[in-house]
């Protein structure tokens, strides 16, 4: 089954304690992206990757890191989480059309993060 | 950069009625306009999309219209059913997707 998986699904942590949210896709997609979803703000892109070892900032990258060492995996790293990073996080992947990520994006089930 | 506005933020309809959600975008270069449905506890899922060379697209009870001149696009759901209840997001894309803020649709039996 074609899917994007994220782990963990729920996480409660404390300020400053480093954490990693994993994301994996089995569709051989080049493009992967992380979004955060907050009430009234919709989905905002944090980071994206067009291929292995190619990553770039989205609209709200501050406080986050990513890596793309393998095509299928795109972990999101919070080195020193703060309460304003409490949010619902989604990983997504898609193929590339003409070098642009305009194909259908497939979303993971989400990770609800609470930073105390 | 691109900005996408979506209205209304909440919409309640009776089962069987129609629902319309509207979006406007700012970047005239945007050429791809998908709509995503997010059910409770799940990630968004594409339900229909339209490209800038098409004015309207229909898939069973769902249709999307695009007015490039006015930079508007809309989602129309006819004969709504309780299972249509969800949050709907529009998006516009040039080289990346910019999402609207979402519409929570409630369909009452």
Q: What is the pLDDT of residue B48?
A: 96
| SS3 at position B83 | helix
Instruction: Kindly identify which residue of chain A lies nearest to residue B34, measuring between CA atoms.
Output: A104
**Interface contact flag, A109 B45, Cβ < 8 Å:** no
Q: What is the pLDDT of residue A72?
A: 97
Q: What is the pLDDT of residue A104?
A: 83
Choose the closest CB to B101 out of A42, A105, A108: A42
Q: What is the pLDDT of residue A2?
A: 84
**Interface contact flag, A107 B95, Cβ < 8 Å:** no
Task: Choose the mutation target among B32, B86, B96, B100 for the interface with A, i.e. most A CBs under 10 Å.
Answer: B96
| SS3 at position A83 | helix
Choose the closest CB to A41 out of B94, B96, B101: B101
A73-83 residues labelled b (16+ CB within 10 A) or e (exposed): ebbbebeebee
Q: What is the pLDDT of residue B54?
A: 83
pLDDT reading at A56 higher than 60 = yes
pLDDT confidence tier of residue A63, bands split at 50, 70 and 90: very high
> Which tens digit of pLDDT belongs to each residue from B60-69?
999 999 999 9
The span from the CA of A91 to the CA of B43, in Å, is: 9
pLDDT reading at A99 higher than 80 = no
> Which tens digit of pLDDT belongs to each residue from A73-89?
999 999 999 999 999 99
> Which tens digit of pLDDT belongs to each residue from A19-54?
999 999 999 999 999 999 999 899 999 999 999 999
**Residue A108 with chain B: CB contacts under 8 Å:** 43
B79-96 residues labelled b (16+ CB within 10 A) or e (exposed): ebeeebbbbbbbbbbbeb
Helix (H) or strand (E) holding B81: none
**Of B79, B87, B52, B81, nearest to B67 (Cα)?**
B52
Mean pLDDT computed over B14-39: 96
Helix (H) or strand (E) holding A64: none
**Interface contact flag, A44 B99, Cβ < 8 Å:** yes
Chain-wide mean pLDDT for chain B?
94
């Amino acid at each position: 089954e074609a899917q994007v998986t994220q782990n963990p699904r729920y996480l409660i942590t404390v300020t400053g304690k480093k954490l990693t949210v994993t994301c994996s896709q089995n569709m051989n997609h080049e493009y992967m992206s992380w979004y955060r979803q907050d009430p009234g703000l919709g989905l905002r892109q944090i980071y994206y990757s067009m291929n292995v070892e190619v990553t770039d900032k989205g609209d709200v990258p501050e406080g986050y890191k990513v890596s793309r060492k393998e095509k299928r995996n795109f972990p999101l790293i919070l080195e020193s989480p703060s309460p304003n990073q409490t949010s619902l996080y989604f990983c997504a992947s898609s193929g590339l059309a003409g070098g642009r990520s305009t194909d259908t994006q497939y979303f993971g089930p989400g990770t609800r993060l609470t930073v105390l | 950069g691109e900005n996408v506005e979506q209205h209304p933020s909440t919409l309640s309809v009776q089962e069987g009625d129609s629902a319309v959600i509207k979006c406007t975008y700012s970047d005239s270069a945007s050429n791809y306009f998908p709509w995503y449905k997010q059910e409770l506890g799940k990630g968004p899922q594409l339900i229909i999309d339209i490209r800038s060379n098409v004015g309207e697209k229909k898939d069973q009870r769902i249709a999307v219209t695009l007015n490039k001149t006015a930079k508007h696009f809309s989602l129309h759901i006819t004969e709504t059913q309780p299972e249509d209840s969800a949050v709907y997001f529009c998006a516009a894309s040039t080289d990346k997707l910019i999402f609207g803020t979402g519409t929570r649709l409630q369909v009452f039996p």
